[in-house]
Structure 1
């Protein structure tokens, strides 16, 4: 929600109301299905919006940002806490309504605001690191209309934006009615430089309800539209910039009107415009307390009970990684580094010659910054090479000492399942 195209300045000014609240208590990509998904636990927070018609927002779950300062994007709405702009409809939905109106008391940065809307957030009521964050939404439509479901880091009050991090789960701009965007913003990749992906359907998203979701785990965020993956980000995508998605975030729902990226309403834009939210649900990440995994660990195979090992503890470039009886030597002391690499004995796990095909050997090579050296161990136990989109696999299902590793399509087989030990 902080990204504009073009954007002349950062969204720091957009956070004034959010910071006050915290002080008081803030390219089109094709679908890419992937069988390796995060291990998701039970629901930790939710709002099903089942209250009777006319019921205000539940302030034990949501609070409001209020004001018309342009929010860093030259937006034209004034956000209120009125049931005219956010209310239950009695049919299982929250309704956020953008209206064309300019009462004298709604002052914007350019004079009297022409529109009102609402922006709800959980900064004072709920934050969480890692897990599944999902909403079922029917978005509004029209030139200049900008609905969003997104998250900000809970440390925004102390470190500011973009160092706090931002995860945009769903953004749409009315001039692109068929396209959803998913983006992260952080230091060195904010505003129009955010790391973004998108998916375009054959009909406007506003024609019906869709589910918008991210699965977020240490060193990986994956976006889904209606259960189909279309974008993923890991530390290796940041061009050497800092990964700031390792602490709790809070949720935001809003409908903006106008701004640098969506442009402004025109004669064809009809008001009022409504965003219907059927539910918002957050599920836990099952790896424990939400903290990053230990820095150094053995990687143990589910089939064999043996660990990934550097043969002879000799870290020569091109050493063919194997499984071996688990031990405490440096040959099995792996580090999941912040740049997405997996390291031991000062070298990196590497697909031979940056290969991506089934059968590519998994070797040990000097760390070189090649994206081919990025791996992630998902909560479901798949050790995935992100460039190849394939899993680390024990060749020929060999459970014995010396069994060699390769890349292969993720099948869920026991010879592809790994855990930290």
Structure 2
């Protein structure tokens, strides 16, 4: 044991903190990234996405999926645009006869699969009766075990007749189709999803999947939610982006449906698992009964970690991993710049295994950065919303006491 580590352990023990020295955690590293920055009219990157073409008789959808840039291409402004078009006449044959619509369905089945992690997109859905955009995943063993044995995770589905609501659902053996297990999220104050871009994500770890909209945690599913049926979310899945037209669930388009309809995708990002084995997740309350909060529910590196009224959103859901990290929105609580001195501000940052992201909770309810040997502190003992958190010498004050999950 080095002299520095031994000194840190002794100093921490004097504060009543139980410190364990363990290997640095694996980083929550990006594993798949597409920001769709190609020139206007260009095709998707074939090293990341492949087209799935044809029609879908099983759902009674009305479109034919093509590989044409008329149906999927870059807009030159950093977006992928999947376009559903009314076609009359059309040379494609669908289950019901000559196809009336074309669209696109993109998949990573041949290019990328992953078990566990954070899967996130920012996109804007189209408006109109019969529109059915989706960001979802299927198990990579579907070719051998079939559906629903392979499992399906719907990260975001929207149907045009419900413009203010999206759905997150899992399907597996005994809970598929209309029996899928999930929940909906409705925007407040009559807002609708076609009005602008929104962020949709899941955090997927062993025996748990959590769904978020704009950083708001709205659904958590575990094996206890599927009524004794088999949990099949324990192997790699691949990603699908598509815009369907019609089907049993959304119903067919009608005279009010605008065409072309467009699903506009800003990005798709995937990182490794957000949850360390044995982690526990929930709100962390402190001074004046307020919560540790990620400012603006923004997952960008450098976002302030602050004190704020507890509101149950995903910006206030923290996972305490057995690896010493404290994680939220797929990233880690971090001492800015690797600082160890008094006043070092606390931020959100990519998990990287550094000492700036190593924490322990004492029996006295302190949260201590084990590298700095300093406590998580509410700046100036100020309970106002938006007060930044910082590192400071552990003093036993109320602004350093936290109730953790």
Please classify the TM superposition score into its range, dividing by the shorter chain length.
0.5 to 0.7
- Structure 1 stretches of 4+ with a deviation exceeding 6 A read 393-396, 411-415
Counterpart Cα distance in 2 of 1:379 and 1:115:
49
Partner of 1:243: 231
Q: Partners of 1:50 and 1:142 in 2: how far apart? A: 27
1:380: Cα distance to partner? Answer: 3.0
Q: Partners in 1 of 2:239 and 2:65 — Cα distance?
A: 16
2:96 is matched with which residue: 110, 119, 124? Answer: 110
Instruction: State the alpha-carbon separation in 2 of the partners of residues 135 and 412 from structure 1.
Output: 36
Q: Is the 8 A contact 2:132 2:158 kept in 1?
A: yes
Could you tell me how far apart the structure 2 residues matched to 1:69 and 1:224 are?
A: 28
Q: Secondary structure at the match of 1:75?
A: coil
Task: Give the 3 Å change call, closer, same or farther, for CA 207–101 of structure 1 in structure 2.
Answer: same
Q: Report the Cα distance in structure 2 between the residues aligned to 1:135 and 1:222, rounded to whole angstroms.
A: 15
- Of the candidates 248, 272, 276, which is equivalent to residue 260 of structure 1? 248
**Rounded Cα–Cα distance in structure 2 between residues aligned with 1:86 and 1:224:** 26
Shift of 1:57: 1.0
Contact 1:84–1:97 (8 Å) recurs in 2: yes
Q: 2:28 maps to which residue?
A: 41
Matched, 1:380 2:368: no
Q: Against the structure 1 CA distance between its residues 90 and 190, is the aligned structure 2 distance closer, same or farther, given a 3 Å change threshold? A: same
Structure 2 residue matching 1:162: 3-state secondary structure: coil
Matching residue of 1:60 = 47
Shift of 1:42: 1.9
- Provide the C-alpha distance between the structure 2 equivalents of 1:204 and 1:397, rounded to a whole number of angstroms: 42
Q: Is contact 1:40-1:131 (8 Å) kept?
A: no
For 2:60 and 2:197, how far apart are their aligned partners in 1?
A: 29
Partner of 1:81: 67
Distance 2:27 2:218 in 1: 19
Which of residues 165, 190, 195 is equivalent to 2:151?
A: 165
Return the alpha-carbon distance in structure 2 between the equivalents of residues 259 and 173 of structure 1.
10
TM-score using structure 1 length:
0.61
| DSSP 3-state at the match of 1:253 | strand
Q: Against the structure 1 CA distance between its residues 91 and 183, is the aligned structure 2 distance closer, same or farther, given a 3 Å change threshold? A: same
Residue in 2 aligned with 1:147?
133
Structure 1 residue 213 and structure 2 residue 201: aligned? Answer: yes
Deviations 1:362-413 (A, max 9, x none): xxxxxxxxxxxxxxx9563599xxxxxxxxx998769xxxxxxxxxxxx998
Structure 2 equivalent of residue 138 of structure 1: 124
Q: CA deviation at 1:105?
A: 2.5
Deviations 1:47-102 (CA, angstroms, capped at 9, x unpaired): 000011111111100001101243x1100000000000000000000000000004
Give distance in 2, aligned partners of 1:183 and 1:146.
15
Give 5+ residue unaligned stretches, structure 2: 1-25, 281-317, 327-360, 367-398
Structure 2: distance between partners of 1:231 and 1:56: 35
Compared CA separation, residues 268 and 91, structure 1 to 2 (3 A): same
Alignment-derived partner of residue 279 in structure 1: 267
Question: Given the two structures, how large is their TM-score scaled by the length of structure 2?
Answer: 0.63
Residues 105 and 40 (structure 1 numbering): CA distance in 2 closer, same or farther, change over 3 Å? farther
Alpha-carbon distance in structure 1 between the residues aligned to 2:256 and 2:97: 24
1:174 corresponds, among 160, 163, 166, to: 160
Confirm or deny: 8 A CA contact 2:365 2:401 kept in the other structure.
no
2:213 corresponding residue in structure 1: 225
What's the Cα RMSD here? 2.8
Query: Does residue 156 in structure 1 map to residue 142 in structure 2?
Result: yes
Is the Cα contact below 8 Å between 2:85 and 2:102 reproduced in 1?
A: yes
Label 1:157 to 1:83 Cα distance change in 2 as closer, same or farther (>3 A). Answer: same
Distance in 1 separating the partners of 2:158 and 2:403: 41
| Structure 1 position 416, deviation (Å) | 5.1
Count of aligned pairs between the two proteins: 273
Distance verdict in 2 for CA 1:140–1:53, change over 3 Å: same
